[in-house]
Structure 1
Amino acid sequence: MDAHEYLDGGTVRVAPETYAVCRLDPGATPPPTAFAVLRDETETTVVVDQDAGAPAAATEVARDWRRLTFEMELPFDLVGFLALVAGELADVGVSIFALSSYSTDHVLVKEDDLATATERLDDLGRVVV
């Protein structure tokens, strides 16, 4: 499978929310409304709707992230999809925070980079809505 085929003609949805990415101590309980929770031995990271506020247990908070969701099922044996997206956005100076769900990928970009990111994805044949 070619990652480029998945970029051609598919849809990327821009979520209306603005997000905060928060670091919590490893034992902290994430809020039940978090969009994403990632845990490892040293920390817990949560992505929350910025309007709801950062959790009280947050030790660091990075604000003003927007979510781009690739609205397609990406098979587990697809190689390089996220690398392709990250590389294309890096080429136009956009940093990402990447998240994957069971069947698709999401990238968070800073609000100030949203227009540049969506223009680049549109140039690659994506329909950005």
Structure 2
Amino acid sequence: MQLKLLDKTNYTIMKFPTHTEIPASFHEINAFKSITYTDDECSIIVPSNTLETDLALSVDDDWFIIQVVGELDFSLVGILTQLANPLAENKISIFSLSTYNTDYLLIKNKDKEKAIHVLQDCGHTFQ
């Protein structure tokens, strides 16, 4: 599978109360960003130090992102499994995110080199 390191930016994953409004500054961020609302929370992923964290219930920083390159058809099976299983076997935790087009893995920077090597050893290539 073809993979891509998004950029050299550190990312932060934040948890906010369910009814948190989208911060105005969120729209000004010109990099990977995500907001997900559920009945239980509002999760926001942004480059570190781009949003205020005062109202966050939880903040976890120092993540990097691996993108699965290309648009994935919804009929494809096991894409995340091919990536998550070898990482789990090597004690590397992931935070996964899917969009309409593709999948993303957020991995702690402390595991970056090991994660890249594990995935390359499984036959995945990086752009």
* TM-score (ref. length: structure 1): 0.85
Q: Is the 8 A contact 2:3 2:66 kept in 1?
A: no
Q: Is the 8 A contact 1:22 1:61 kept in 2?
A: yes
- Residue aligning to 1:39: 37
Partners of 1:16 and 1:111 in 2: CA distance = 10
How big is each residue's C-alpha offset from its partner over 1:62-109, in whole Å with a ceiling of 9 and x where there is no partner? 111111111122110111111221111111111000001111100000
Q: Is the 8 A contact 1:30 1:55 kept in 2?
A: no
Partners of 1:54 and 1:124 in 2: CA distance = 39
Partners of 1:62 and 1:14 in 2: CA distance = 19
Structure that is richer in strand per residue: 1
Q: What is the number of residues matched between the two proteins?
A: 121
| RMSD (Å), alpha carbons | 1.6
- Structure 2 counterparts to residues 1-129 of structure 1, below 5 A: 7=1, 10-31=2-23, 32=26, 33=29, 35-129=33-127
Partners of 1:72 and 1:117 in 2: CA distance = 20
Q: Indicate the SS of the match to 1:119.
A: helix
Unaligned runs of 5+ in 1: 1-6
Q: Percent identity?
A: 27
Q: Indicate the SS of the match to 2:92.
A: coil
Unaligned runs of 5+ in 2: none
* TM-score (ref. length: structure 2): 0.86
